[in-house]
Structure 1
Amino acid sequence: MTLHIEERDDRVVATLDRPEKRNAIDQETIDALHELCAALEASPRTLIVTGSDGIFAAGADIAQLRDRTADDARRGINAMAFIRVRELPMPVIAAIDGYALGGGAELAYAADIRIATPSLRIGNPETGLGIIAAAGATWRLPEIVGDARASELLLTGRALDAEEALRWGLVSSLHPSDELLSAAHAIADRITANDPLATQHTKRALRAPRAQHPAIEFELQAELFASPEKHRRMTAFLERKNR
């Protein structure tokens, strides 16, 4: 099993678990991600993605990549799995310890929230291997850090350390390794305390193309304004305020 799953009522923790290969993402991992996404599409919960043994994922499995053909490239094997992760209804938190390179970095880019440890090394060395970062980096990374910084990283293949990733906004906070999962769960706790439908609609609005704004907010807000949960939560707020 290359992806260890821990299920709770309100969240799922998925741990990349190929320590002998530094958690490199292989076809079995991709298949497991699709299976996990199917479950979370049917029963939306927050997802925490992390890695075992002090490494997030040192990349895609190079032995498998070396044997892939042009037809495999057109199928977007890793890219389609990461798109599915990104489009999950509830937030995805990447808790990144150590290396997140190549496909590992692209999986992290697909998350809504990224936190890391001081040992983080994140980047895309694909051009040094004769390929491009085709599982989302060329379009997700500019959205996260801007065109100039994304171009530098992808064209040079260098990796960022933790402090630089934090300054660039690639991760939102740093935590000691033994506190990383607790920090991810604390974020999930705050998400869980909010209205699930409002959270899902916020994620939809965040992901929507610029051309859909502001109309998409109006429609999503209209649905929420008509929900009993909005009335219940606002009534409870006013009652607390008036005590």
Structure 2
Amino acid sequence: MNLLTVLAPLEGFETPGVQSFDFPGLFGIPWLNRILLQAVVSLIIIMAFWLVMSRKRALVPSKGQFIGESAYMFVRNSIGRDVIGHDFKKWVPLLVALFSFVLVNNLWGVFPLTLVPTASHVGWAYGLAGLVWVIYNGIGIRKFGFFGYLKHVTVPPGVPLWMYPLIIPLEFLSNIIVRPATLSLRLFANMFAGHLLVLVFVLGGEYLIVESEPIFNKVAGVVSLLFSLVIFALELFVQSLQAYIFTMLTAQYISSATAEEH
């Protein structure tokens, strides 16, 4: 038995679910909702952050410059250099931008005025994964040619000829079809489940305290709200981790698409 099954029978309590992620559009335009606004605001914040961090650079960095340089070097070295290898520098701007965008949009889930990550709507996760898919396949085709790239991603070196009918479909499915699906669904599922869990504990705790009469329910409501703080801390970790994983996998896909040997 979980909290959902306990709260569902209580009169007047609406169990959080998929409907909790539906937001009305502004000015009667369905797609012009708070999720889109969050994404637009995140772009403004990210551009402003990196513009400020890149100005007035000094040999002895200020606190702001130190924060910006630390973030940049983390993505540059821990993701770009370590995953892509010697030809990583030209991909660092993409990786920094991608990491920044995913991280800020994930952190909307713990910001008091929003409390919903942008990627909790699956379309945004699909869009980001689709962008990555176009990039790593595009650079692979540019380097090897269309048919050369297909051979590169579907025929591992050293595989005997008689195994081609089995290996080629599996490799094509894995590298071309499954990668963007898993990349998007991993991000979406973590953001959706985390936000839903927060809703259950916060709304359930509020209902038990305000609307329920038995003292046991009120105590349970207080415990639920306190536990929601733990969930928020866990969500902060998961949101940062998912931004890292998404960017790291992007670097891995770029590396595999351009490697001389698959």
TM range (shorter): under 0.3
Please give the TM-score of this superposition, normalised by the length of structure 1: 0.27
Greater relative contact order, per chain length (Cα 8 Å cut-off, separation 6+): 2
Question: TM-score, length-normalised on structure 2?
Answer: 0.26
Give the structure with the higher percent helix: 2
